[in-house]
Amino acid sequence: MNLKRALMLAALALPLLVALLSGFGRDPHAVPSMLEGKPAPPWVLQDLHGQQVALADGQKLPILLNFWATWCYPCQAEHALLQETAAALQGRARVLGIIYNDSVEAVAAYVAKHGAAYPQLIDPNSRVAIDYGVAGVPESFIIDGDGIIVHKQAGVMRPEILHRYLAPLLADAPPPPLEKGP
């Protein structure tokens, strides 16, 4: 192979190599979030008891906002952790559930059986879900006291995620569920 041909092949292969290398280190399952680092879209929704709840209600407390449905098995899997987190963080952070594409009756029955430590909010026509760029459930958003989205978790919430993103936002020591993390 002469030098000219080798150089031509290298020139063709280089961009391809750069494109492939740039993909290494990325999580192929990660869904990019356009909203991280940006203000959380505001909303006012009703809970299962007809009470109005707003994003801005919490006196600058960090928020764990969870989009979920009772028909979604991964959502059921994370429910216990969210219950535990909500109970442990009472008064220090807000845990809120937004019902995605599910009936109020199904959610009411589910939380009556599995625990209702945090409010479940009704999102007519999934408007808030679309506003947050939700592409499936479960998806959770960790929002700081200034209303900025710190992290979007696509998929089941895990203790290490809470430990990494929510714990630093708390004014005092990490709560018990976060101790499960690394």
Partner 1 sequence: MPKRPVVSLLLALFCLVAPWPSARAERAPIVKMDDPVVLSLGARLRCPVCQGMPIGESPAPMAQDMMREVRRLRLQEGQSEEQIAAHFTERYGTWVLLDPPKQGFGLVVWMLPPAVLMLGLGAALGSVAHKRAVAAAQNRGQNPARPQGTTPQTQADAELLAKVRRQAES
Q: Which residues bind partner 1 (CB under 8 A)?
A: 12, 32, 34-35, 101, 125-127, 129-136
What is the total residue count of the chain?
Answer: 182
Q: How far is the CB of 17 from partner 1 (least distance, A)?
A: 14
Is the CB of 18 or the CB of 171 nearer to partner 1? Answer: 18
Q: How far is the CB of 136 from partner 1 (least distance, A)?
A: 6
Is the CB of 72 or the CB of 95 nearer to partner 1? Answer: 72
Q: How far is the CB of 63 from partner 1 (least distance, A)?
A: 18
CB neighbour burial string for 66-93, b if at least 16 within 10 angstroms, e if fewer = bbbbbebeebbebbebbbbbbebbeeeb
Is the CB of 11 or the CB of 171 nearer to partner 1? Answer: 11
Phi and psi (nearest 5°) for 123?
-115, 85
Q: Closest Cα partner for 96 from 132, 125, 73?
A: 132
